[in-house]
Structure 1
Amino acid sequence: MKNSTNLPQNISNTLFSKLFTSIKKLPYAVGQAFSFKRNVSEIKTLRKTTKVIMLIMLIATFATFILGHDFSFAGWIGLVTSTAVVLNLILVDQGRLTNYSWGALGCAVWLIIALNNRLIGDIASQTFYLVMQFVGISVWNNKIEQQTDKQELVSRSFSWLEGLFWLVVTITIYLIVLFFSKQLNGTQVYLDATLLPLGIVGMVLMTYGYRSQWVAWIALDGINVVIWFNQLQISSPASTSMFILQIIMLINAMYGAYLWFFGQKEAKK
């Protein structure tokens, strides 16, 4: 009976201990993610196929910027965003910790673009993503340190019941965001409202190394292609760069899904 009585306290102490340890290690983890030396090393050691895809994505990004003739402040912000997102995505594909350094940069500048376009769902999404970059740095660093392979995060899978839970979470958040988007007179509210719930689910699953994250990312990127195509029709700020970026992200999400489902070993639960 004594052990049973102390069980909640023991669980609480364990969770607090883990949280304290993660916070204590965060400066080191952030230093690793933003390390110039580690960034160079992790890009150099990517698979040949991944490097080819990265090169194509970067060429497409810069070509779109030059051919679009949008050399305004918003245009340059779009270029920086696209470049950071490409490098972030490529490094996520192979489970590299340094993806978060580019992810943080990409989220910050993307947030500026979303504000200029009054995309309420996108603004909420990018704010959430920015915070989650640092949560992800802490979790990924701890998990990679516990693995035999210290270079690449090993993927995990979950049950159908857990999948159903995340589906319900996605729909619930969508309805909440849709309500507020309508109240705030957002743009393309029905499509835009999908971005935050899909982003939340994708980021949480990504943070804890679940390969099913790619289902959320593929859905989100496909919707983003439609949203930015519509923005392109009205010549909104940085719309050309962002539209091409969405296509690039969708293609990359499919490649990332292939690697995480078939190209990596699965972590033991």
Structure 2
Amino acid sequence: MKDWTLFEKLWLTSFTLINIYLFFAWDDTLLGLISSITGMLCVVLVAKGKMSNYYFGMIQTSTYAYISYTYGLYGEAMLNGLFYFPIQFIGLYMWNKHKVKDDVIGEDVEVKRLTKKGWITVITISIVASLIYAELLSLINAQQVRIDSMAVVLSIIAQFLMIKRYAEQWIMWIVVNALSVVLWVVTLTQSGGNDWSMLVMWIAFLFNSVFGYYNWIKMSKGQQLSEVK
């Protein structure tokens, strides 16, 4: 971990210890602990532009899909089981095709930026798809339909931006993670569930998405300077 900053090490260690504490203090589930910790490892590695994030993502998406299903969050379950899990393999392949040069230290992948036209397309698709998916979730009696549908749609769009290596993916992730924090607070309160590590995981994701956006912008500028040289 030579290229890890002190902040990154402290951030990861702090949230890992919080999850372990919750596991014992609140009688949390082992599956929830595994999902939370692997999820945090995954997003931190994404923020650093490391391809190894996908290996942890495979574990996190499969376990989180099952947990979401048990709470009736069918949108989250379908998103992770049917989309996130298989796309980990696609993302690993795509990132491997676009590695940075050896003289760029600390990241594995080239970073791109979204144009104004790209933003208009992203926002339009987000609004239309969220409305349609909310109707679908209502038909199957899912819980927290509006928040769930918006979080799912924005997650899919953010995942595509991630695979295509756009720094703006992190703006989408910030919104998604904030919605997911609200979603799990409401769900755990209403259901009386004890998977509070899921909430901690999403709070950690929210902090990481802010850091990820900052870091990818810095990576983009650094790679541009490297190309000039």
What is the TM-score of this pair, normalised by structure 1? 0.77
Whole-Å separation in 1 of the counterparts to 2:53 and 2:207: 18
Instruction: Please list, as runs of the form range in 1=range in 2, the aligned pairs for 1:1-269 lying within 5 A after superposition.
Output: 43=1, 45-70=3-28, 75-126=29-80, 127-144=82-99, 149=104, 151-265=107-221
Report how far residue 225 of structure 1 moved: 0.6
Decide whether aligned partners of structure 1 residues 252 and 51 sit closer, same or farther in structure 2, where only a CA change above 3 A counts. Answer: same
Distance change >3 Å, CA 147–CA 120, structure 1 → 2: farther
Contact 1:84–1:106 under 8 Å retained in 2: yes
Amino acid at match of 2:55: S
Per-residue CA deviations over 1:97-121 (Å, capped at 9, x if unaligned) read 1000001100000010011011121
Aligned residues: 223
User: Is the 2:111–2:219 contact (alpha carbons within 8 Å) kept by the matching residues of 1?
Assistant: no
- Specify the code of the residue in structure 1 equivalent to 2:38: A
Query: Which sections of structure 2, spanning at least 5 residues, go unmatched?
Result: none
Distance (Å, rounded) in 1 between the aligned partners of 2:156 and 2:73:
17
Cα distance, 1:49 vs. partner? Answer: 2.1
Structure-1 separation of matches of 2:2 and 2:143: 41
Q: Is the 8 A contact 1:231 1:239 kept in 2?
A: no
Q: CA deviation at 1:94?
A: 0.5
Match of 1:35 in 2: none
Deviation at 1:237, TM superposition (A): 4.1
Local SS of the residue matching 1:136: helix
Which of the two has higher C-alpha Rg? 1
Change (3 A) 1:172 1:124: farther
Distance change >3 Å, CA 216–CA 233, structure 1 → 2: same
Partners of 2:101 and 2:95 lie apart in 1 by 10
Q: Percent identity among equivalent residues?
A: 24
TM (norm. structure 2) is 0.90
Q: In 1, are the aligned partners of 2:36 and 2:201 still within 8 Å (CA)?
A: yes
Gaps of 5+ in 1: 1-42
Contact 2:19 2:200 in 1 (8 A): yes
Q: State the alpha-carbon separation in 1 of the partners of residues 17 and 123 from structure 2.
A: 36
Amino acid of the structure 1 residue aligned with 2:22: T
Q: CA RMSD in A?
A: 2.0
Q: Aligned partner of 2:44: which letter?
A: I
Q: Report the Cα offset of residue 146 of structure 1.
A: 6.4
User: Would you say the 8 A contact 1:181–1:193 is kept in 2?
Assistant: yes
| 8 Å Cα contact 2:27/2:194 also seen in 1 | no
CA distance in 1, matches of 2:221, 2:21: 36
Of the two structures, which has the highest relative contact order with CA contacts closer than 8 Å and spacing of 6 or more? 2
Q: 2:26 touches 2:194 (CA, 8 Å); kept in 1?
A: no
Deviations 1:19-66 (A, max 9, x none): xxxxxxxxxxxxxxxxxxxxxxxx554233211211112112212222
